[in-house]
Amino acid sequence: MRVLIRGAGVAGLTVAHELAGKGIAVEVTETSSRPGGGASWFAGGMLSPWCERESATETVVTLGRKSADWWEAALPGHVVRKGTLVVAPPRDTAELNRFAARTSNFDWLDGDDISALEPDLAGRFRKALFFRNEAHLDPRRAITGLSGRLAAMGVVFHFGAAPDFPGAGFDHIVDCTGASSIRQTVDLRGVRGEMLMLETPDVTLLRPVRLLHPRIPLYIVPRADGHFMVGATMIESDDRGPISARSLMELLNAAYALHPAFGEARVVETGAGVRPSYPDNLPRFSADGGIIRINGMYRHGFLLAPSVAQDVAAHIASSSKTNAARPANSFDPVLVTPRRYDNSTGASR
C-alpha cells in the first residue's frame, strides 16, 4: 500500500509515523522548504490536557492524556515531565479559584511550595495550582526530530512541492494542510495565535507557567539557552500577518507581571500562526473515496495529533482489508467520526 500525506505539520508527521510503523509506504509533500511550515512552528508544545480542560471539553483530556507517552516513544529524550504551574497575582486570586473549579488532577500550593518548585518565583505568588502529571516539549525540535526519524524509516519527503502534487498511484491521500482549507471547508474557521520569544539569563523556569489574567491569559514555556516562548493570543481571525502592537504590548506586560526581569529580556522573535478550528474546537477527520482529510486541531495540535493519527492509521488499515477485492478509487464516501469524538456535544464516548 502507498499513502500520500499532504502537509508536514504536526498532524501530517504523526500520521506518517503511525503508518510507517505499520510497514506502509508513505510520501509526504510540503509547500514550505522545511517541516512545520504552518502553525506548528509557533506552537507552545504544552502537553497539558488537564489545564486545557479549563476552556475545553472532557474530550481533550480523554484524547490528550497519553500524548506525552506517544511523544516520548517516538522521540526519546524530547519530553520534559515536570508538570505545569498555574499562578495569578494576589488581586486575581478569584481567577485561580475559577480555574480550579473547571479542572482536575492538580494540587494547591502555597508560597513555600511555589518557591521550592520555581525558586525564581519565590515571594511573588501566594497560591498556585500544580498539575504534576503534565509535560511539555520544544515543538521545533520535535518537528525536526520526527521528520528525521521518518526519513530514516523510509518515508519520502517532497519539500517545496506544489499544492497539486500528483496523487496518482497512491491508495490513499491524507490531507493535513490545515489552515489552507479555511473558507473552503464548511464550519472551519481561523483562530490567530501570536507569540514572542524572549532571551534572558536572569530568569530560570523548569516548567511551563500559566499566569491567569482577566484580560490575557499568558503562558511562558522554557526553551534551551535562556529562551522563553511567550504566548499566546486567541483572536478569531485568519489573518496571517505579523503580530500586532497591542498583542506585543500585552504579552510583554504579562511576562513582566510574572517576573520583572523579563522587562530587560531581549525580544529575539515574534510570530503569528492561524490555527484551523471547528465550532466545537475539536479535531475531525473524514474520508471520501481514497481521500482522508484531517483538520480542526485548534490550539491542541501537539496534544491531540497522536490520538487522531492512531485513529486515521487504524481506519486506513481496516479500509484496505475491507476493500482489498474492490477496484481502485471505488470507495464509498463516508464521514468518519471515531467513537471517541462526539462533535455535537464535545463528550467523549
Q: Which of 69-78, 201-210, 215-224, 235-244 has the lowest mean pLDDT?
A: 215-224
CATH class of 1-83+133-188+278-349: alpha beta
pLDDT in tens, 207-236: 999 999 777 778 999 999 999 999 978 899
CA 142, CA 153: separation in Å to the nearest integer? Answer: 16
Cell numbers that stand for 139 in this block: 515543538
Q: What pLDDT sits at residue 331?
A: 29
154 Cβ contact list (under 8 Å, min separation 6): 20, 25, 26
Nearest Cα to Cα of residue 200 among 120, 137, 95 = 120
Nearest Cα to Cα of residue 34 among 155, 159, 152 = 159
Residue 80 gets which letter from DSSP?
Answer: B
CATH number of the 92-132+190-275 domain: 3.30.9.10
189 Cβ contact list (under 8 Å, min separation 6): 182, 236, 238, 276, 277, 278, 279
Q: Do domains 1-83+133-188+278-349 and 92-132+190-275 have the same CATH topology?
A: no
Q: What is the mean pLDDT of residues 187-214?
A: 95
pLDDT in tens, 87-111: 998 888 899 999 999 999 999 999 9
> Is the pLDDT assigned to residue 4 strictly greater than 50?
yes
CA 200, CA 202: separation in Å to the nearest integer? Answer: 5
CA 223, CA 221: separation in Å to the nearest integer? Answer: 6
Domains of the chain, by residue range, sit at 1-83+133-188+278-349, 92-132+190-275
Q: What is the mean pLDDT of residues 67-76?
A: 98
What number of helices (H) and strands (E) belong to the chain? 9, 16
Q: Which of 35-44, 246-255, 338-347 has the lowest mean pLDDT?
A: 338-347
What is the greatest pairwise CA distance in the chain? 69
Q: What is the mean pLDDT of residues 227-252?
A: 93
Q: What is the mean pLDDT of residues 184-194?
A: 94
Q: What is the mean pLDDT of residues 16-38?
A: 96
pLDDT in tens, 311-344: 999 999 988 665 543 333 322 333 444 334 433 3
Q: What pLDDT sits at residue 330?
A: 29
> Is the pLDDT assigned to residue 120 strictly greater than 90?
yes
Q: Mean pLDDT for the chain?
A: 91
Q: Which parts of 216-335 are beta strand (E)?
A: 218-222, 227-231, 266-277, 284-288, 291-295
3-state secondary structure (DSSP) of residue 103: coil
Q: What pLDDT sits at residue 346?
A: 35
